[in-house]
Structure 1
Amino acid sequence: MNNSPLVEVDAQVLNLEIDLIYAGVDNLAGKQIYQDPRCLLHRDAEACLRNASRLAHQAGLRLKIFDAYRPPYAQYLLWAALPNPEYVRDPSLGSHHSRGVAVDLTLIDTDGQALDMGTGFDDMREQSHQFYADLPPQVQRNRLLLLGIMLGAGFSYIDSEWWHYELPDADDYPLIDDTSFKQAH
């Protein structure tokens, strides 16, 4: 029997897109990190994601997920690529992604085009900080719209990445080492 608190995010049911960046090679590590392309979240986070998807639809938009559950081995690979605690959580502390309670995402329009957020996903510069002021008003509106959707759905944010949202009290959730989520070779 599977006692894992992880559930698979169903893109069709939630009417959102999934593009797991670490399942390909175009990411900050420069190599495929996930062999298993399933998008998993802790059931509590998936329930909030359902609310976020509903709120995005109210605004005529959809969510696009870049990352969700991240096995601990993957956190070590990302830390090796960018050992900067402002952007990548030290694996010895345990990533909130490895608890299944964090999700990286953006908003897309009805044509599937991502809204302009000023930087791309995993652009580890100050311009990616949630409230970076020196960006055009339309970019600010897009970021604030995503922020409002995610806060309204029950998530909290971090200052250094506009795309990262997590459940409040994320540290209270245990790390999950889902052995069915295999490492890429």
Structure 2
Amino acid sequence: MFVSISFSSFGQTQKPAAAKIPGIEQKIKDRGLVNIQEADPTILVQLKYSTTDNFMHKDVYGDLESAYLQPEMAKRLAKANAALKQLHPDYRLLIYDAARPNSIQYHLWDALDDLKIPSKNKTMYVADPKIGSNHNFGCAVDLTIADKNGKALDMGTKFDFFGPLAYPRSEDGMLKAGKLTLDQLENRWLLRKVMTGAGFKANATEWWHFDGMSKKEAKAKYGMIP
């Protein structure tokens, strides 16, 4: 049984009043990762876990507000953004998440228990921190496409929607059932086209998630961000 959860409170990004947790950005920099916007300043960034606009409704990234990836991943992302602009000059990639320390992975994993996600389904939405996510190696990115005003295109669900409506593997059935429109799917297809063309691999259960290499390769080449 799949659990479908949407978050109607998602909307304008709000920074919490609480003091920032120090040190996360420096931890990532110390591992040699690069700021995505240094590779391409036209890429937009809005880290959802550095706001309250996420499934936990809290900021878990502290001082981290810029998006980082391994250098080769950042170059691929810039390539994808260039391809997107060539197809649609007014469009830009909008980053929701990139490199993530493994210590933060535990917060996301534990938060699924609060949402009553069955244990057998947890890895469909958050990687087990004991194994690690490709985000923890700086080799995965969550993103969408934004228009000339910086507004995200309609992809049929919000970021972090838990359920089949967000699954690329379920899109044909959702279209036939009238739960997704052709315009929404064309936006997803465009995102996948530019990302896979730049060397990323799409995820079967999250339209926004793309991996730059396998977890095994990432672990061997880069190691985990603690």
TM-score by length of 2: 0.74
Q: Distance in 1 between matches of 2:41 and 2:66?
A: 15
Q: Distance in 1 between matches of 2:214 and 2:39?
A: 29
Structure 2 unmatched ranges of 5 or more? 1-28, 114-121, 175-179
Q: Distance in 1 between matches of 2:217 and 2:81?
A: 25
Larger radius of gyration: 2
* Residue 10 in structure 1 maps to residue 37 in structure 2: yes
Higher helix proportion: 2
Q: Distance in 1 between matches of 2:58 and 2:183?
A: 33
Q: Distance in 2 between matches of 1:111 and 1:25?
A: 22
Q: Distance in 2 between matches of 1:87 and 1:47?
A: 27
2:139–2:212: 8 Å Cα contact kept in structure 1? Answer: yes
Structure 1 unmatched ranges of 5 or more? 179-185
1:11–1:18: 8 Å Cα contact kept in structure 2? Answer: no
Alpha carbons of structure 1 residues 162 and 11: separation in structure 2 relative to 1, 3 Å: farther
Equivalent positions of 1:139-150 (< 5 A) are: 139-150=184-195
TM-score by length of 1: 0.89
The structure 1 segments of at least 4 consecutive aligned residues displaced by more than 4 Å after TM superposition are none
* Residue 54 in structure 1 maps to residue 85 in structure 2: no
Structure 2 equivalent of residue 22 of structure 1:
49
Q: Distance in 2 between matches of 1:30 and 1:45?
A: 28
Equivalent position SS for 1:173? helix
Structure 1 equivalent of residue 151 of structure 2:
113
Cα RMSD for the two superposed structures: 1.7
Structure 1 equivalent of residue 213 of structure 2:
168
| 1:145 CA displacement | 0.6
Deviates more, 1:164-173 or 1:122-131: 164-173
Equivalent position SS for 2:108? helix
Identity %: 35
Equivalenced residue count is 177
| 1:67 CA displacement | 0.1
* Residue 177 in structure 1 maps to residue 225 in structure 2: yes
Alpha carbons of structure 1 residues 126 and 101: separation in structure 2 relative to 1, 3 Å: same
Deviation per residue, 1:42-87 (Å, 9 max, x gap): 1121111010110111122100000000111111000011261011
Equivalent residue in structure 1 for 2:196, among 144, 151, 158: 151
| 1:38 CA displacement | 2.4
Q: Distance in 2 between matches of 1:48 and 1:12?
A: 9
